[in-house]
Amino acid sequence: MTIQIAILRHGEVQGRAHVFRGASNEPLSALGLAQMQRALARIAGAPFDTLATSPLPRCHQFATDYAAQQRLPLQVMPCFSELNFGEWEGLTPDEAAARNPSEYAAFRATHGAHAPPDGETLAAFRARIAQGWHAWMDQGSGSHRLLVTHAGVMRALLMELLGLTPAQTFQIALPEAACLRVSHLHGQPPFLLSLN
């Protein structure tokens, strides 16, 4: 059975802009909610038959409401949470660079392979997302699915599913409420249907 998956990034959140926002709990702003609603309205095709979400409020809030409106089963999956930025949570890149100059330089130069202080490594991040993705695909949960998640998770999935390098994924814009769609047939390579 072919499974089509729409992967939706959360919209704008409340709080400071342009910070490392991994494990933090800020909710969506009103604009962020509207951005996500508009993004889903642009996706053509059959109605979704199942929904999964990151547990973080900026994803979970929208997913819970959407699942209730559409009468969809909802799975809250911690594996699809954003990268944990450790001591840099809530800091701008400039603030992180001022606090930990050498660590920040290594983080930037390796596209996240060098973890932030007390943060999650890219290898561990990719491993939990890949494990969660394959487990979700193996479930008999429908052929048209929606995943509400984060930009980092979307980049990790592009690495896992399409074999892109970390450097290549950072050349792809994933703005607030970005959406990518993939087709997944068991035993076959995934196929990118659309991006943004």
Domain ranges of the chain: 2-195
What's the chain's Rg over C-alpha atoms? 16
Whether this model's pTM surpasses 0.85: yes
Cβ neighbours around 154 below 10 Å, total? 23
What is the spatial distance between Cα 130 and Cα 127, in angstroms, rounded to a whole number? 5
Q: What is the pLDDT along the chain (196 residues), one digit of tens a residue?
A: 789 999 999 999 999 989 999 999 999 999 999 999 999 998 866 789 999 999 999 999 999 999 999 999 999 999 999 999 999 999 999 999 999 999 999 999 998 889 999 999 999 999 999 999 999 998 877 889 999 999 999 999 999 999 999 999 999 999 999 999 999 887 888 999 999 8
What is the spatial distance between Cα 169 and Cα 101, in angstroms, rounded to a whole number? 24
CATH number of 2-195: 3.40.50.1240
